[in-house]
Amino acid sequence: MAVQFKPLGECAVLVYFGNIISQEVHQSIKKFLFILEKEWCDGLIEVVPSYTNVCIYYDVLKVHQWEQDGHTPYKKIVSFLQTLLQQEVVLPKEKQRLIEIPVCYGGSYGPDLRELAQFHHLTEQQVIELHSGKEYLVYMLGFAPGFAYLEGLDERIATPRKETPRLKIPSGSVGIAGKQTGIYPLETPGGWQIIGRTPLKLFLPEQHPPTLLRAGDRVRFVPITEEAFAELEGERR
Amino acid sequence: MTLTIIKPGLFTSIQDLGRRGYQQYGVIVGGAMDRLSYRIGEMILEQTPSAALEFTLIGPTVKFNCDAVFCLTGANFHPLLNETPCPMWKPVFAEKGSILKLSYCQKGARGYLHIKGGIRVEKVLDSFSTYSRARIGGFKGRSLAKGDELPILPSAPSSKEKWGIQPKNWLSWKEPVVIRIVKGTEYDLFTEESKEFLVTSVFAITKEADRMGYRLAGEYPLSTKEPINLLSEAVTFGTIQIPPNGQPIILMADCQTTGGYPKIAQVLSVDLPKLAQLKPYENIRFQLVSLEEAQQLLVQQEKAFKLLELLCSKNDEESFKN
């Protein structure tokens, strides 16, 4: 698919690289973000990548003052981005990060594990093995600070959301909703099936970048005991 | 040196122009809802955007524990300084021990209290704004409560108190209030009737209206021609989403960074301050304009603002009185 541009109001532009979730689209996005970072200039405010596109927020007055008379700021930003897209770059040999997330499955940390296993006619252990037995890719962050949209959940444990959302889900809870799995960075209400909890903090406002996970990371869940959970949580404090 | 919160008012929190650069990590922008009032207040006090108080519908009562200069902007909360009516939109000197009492506003919804030198809280992720859900920023990451002591710097009175400005256009309106929009990313996927209703019918702001978003109630539900399942992507302050029930939601300052509902339209940046001043049960009507016009209006506003800033920094008793 050819790259497409759409305005998100007068202060942002969405650059689409495809319309389905795929590794290929994700790679094009990574490449584009790499060029953008390299060619960053006054007038650009911030970027927000998602599954199939990158949103670029810009300062309309500053872009209006860029050279090229007679064009609207939108046309100027699009033509600027188009020139960036023509650049041939080779992404630096990836030091793709693999982040291991220790998770204590079941019990009070994963109150929905038993029911979810029954729903799929599996044992709790089998659910844990399916969930922790593979790598996931972080496509994007959103919804809450540090919340990663992970791709790669085994279809055999894909489970609909709970009919009645819980009012409080503790931070660090690991859940399943449809074909997605994720970790709640903050205590929030929510309808995900909670199967475990990690003692790690996902949102780290005192660090830069302020999140444990970043777009492009690979993630693996590692089952831990309650004792290990308590120990890790203790270290964190 | 502090400012004591005697009565907190409603949802009173510290705000600035928000957190930029962190949406890619899921961190919301936040910041003042009525950014125009906020910016003018900071400009009147001749300072770069600092930590100011935003309050909604009911204002706070505060006590100055040192000499201070402040400025009130936004909706009129009938301010009384030591029981005497106090002007808005200009620097005001408060002697140590003074009590500033704000009540409720008849017109508008949000007010701002700016302090010379700003409220002395730490920036978190480059901003003073309160992000309640993540419990960061502002004062202890939360709305203010009775008894909170906010650190401020003492200020001496100056000749600057003799001038002020008189804002007009975004703080006065007749219902239905006209809010200008540009087409949203999924505009073309909506039925012809939906596109028609969007600009011909009147929408009421429901009581579900807060810093995150306003839910609207219209006569007819809006829908796409075919059901669509969108992937989550960037959304922003002013994005108008249509959830499955067909009633629009306008995202406001504390909106999430990404969303998955179809976006029928986007409110013009220049009309967001007005929208931020509307209350539940007020009626609005949308007017569609071109992207080109929307950008021109924003450029004009920003140029006017720069000029105002220049005048403010040069002001004396002769120039720029109201």
Residue B188 neighbours by CB under 8 Å, 6+ apart: none
Strand partners, B240: B250, B265
Residue B257's closest CA among B239, B243, B242?
B239
Q: How confident is the model at residue A237 (pLDDT cuts 50, 70, 90)?
A: low
Judge if A4-85 and A98-236 fold alike in CATH terms. Answer: no
Closest Cα in chain B, distance from residue A125 (Å): 32
| Residue A189 confidence (pLDDT) above 90 | no
Chunk chain B into consecutive blocks of 10 residues (it has 322) and report each block's average pLDDT, rounded to whole numbers: 97 98 97 97 94 98 97 97 96 97 95 98 97 96 98 88 73 90 98 98 97 96 92 96 95 95 97 97 97 97 91 58 40
Helix, strand or coil, per DSSP, at residue B138? coil
Q: Chain A residues with CB inside 8 Å of B232's CB?
A: 50-51, 140, 142-143, 149
Range name among A62-71, A165-174, B179-188, B283-292 with the lowest pLDDT average: A62-71
Closest Cα in chain B, distance from residue A180 (Å): 12
Complete domains list, chain B, with CATH: 2-162 (no CATH), 177-289 (2.40.100.10)
Chain A, chain B: beta-carbon pairs less than 8 Å apart: 138
Q: Tell me if B263 and A147 make a contact (CB, 8 A cut-off).
A: no
pLDDT at B164: 77
Q: How many Cβ atoms from other residues are within 10 Å of residue A198's Cβ?
A: 25
Question: If you measure CA to CA, which chain B residue comes closest to A64?
Answer: B299
Q: Chain B residues with CB inside 8 Å of A188's CB?
A: 133
**% of chain A beyond a pLDDT of 70:** 98
pLDDT at A1: 67
pLDDT tens string A24-61 = 999 999 999 999 999 999 999 999 999 999 999 999 99
Q: A169: phi > 0 → left, psi -120 to 50 → alpha, else beta; which?
A: beta
Closest Cα in chain B, distance from residue A119 (Å): 26
Helix, strand or coil, per DSSP, at residue B213? strand
User: Which residue in the set B25, B239, B291 is minimally distant from A141, CB to CB?
Assistant: B25
- What's the whole-number mean pLDDT along residues A129-149? 94
Task: Write down the ipTM of this complex.
Answer: 0.94
Taken in order B81, B86, B91, B92, is the CA torsion positive or negative?
A: negative
Q: Tell me if B269 and A11 make a contact (CB, 8 A cut-off).
A: yes
pLDDT at B66: 97
The pTM of this model reads 0.94
N-to-C CA span, chain B: 32
Q: How many Cβ atoms from other residues are within 10 Å of residue B41's Cβ?
A: 27
Q: What is d(CA A54, CA B43) in angstroms, rounded to the nearest whole number?
A: 34
Identify the CATH assignment for A98-236 out of 1.10.3720.10, 2.40.100.10, 3.40.720.10, 3.30.465.10. Answer: 2.40.100.10
User: Which residue in the set B134, B234, B302 is minimally distant from A145, CB to CB?
Assistant: B134
Residue pair B152/B160 in contact by the 8 Å Cβ criterion: no
Q: CATH fold of A4-85, please?
A: Gyrase A; domain 2 (3.30.1360)
Disruptive mutation site among B233, B255, B263, B307 for chain A (greatest number of A CBs within 10 Å): B233
Look up residue B94 and give its amino acid: A
pLDDT at B315: 59
> What residue spans define the domains of chain A?
4-85, 98-236
pLDDT tens string A89-117 = 888 776 789 999 999 999 999 999 999 99
Higher pLDDT, A72 or A96: A72
Residue pair A173/B57 in contact by the 8 Å Cβ criterion: no
Q: Chain A residues with CB inside 8 Å of B305's CB?
A: none
Question: If you measure CA to CA, which chain B residue comes closest to A16?
Answer: B233
Residue pair B144/B116 in contact by the 8 Å Cβ criterion: no
Look up residue B233 and give its amino acid: E
pLDDT at A94: 67
Question: If you measure CA to CA, which chain B residue comes closest to A140?
Answer: B24
pLDDT at B167: 75
Question: If you measure CA to CA, which chain A residue comes closest to B233?
Answer: A50
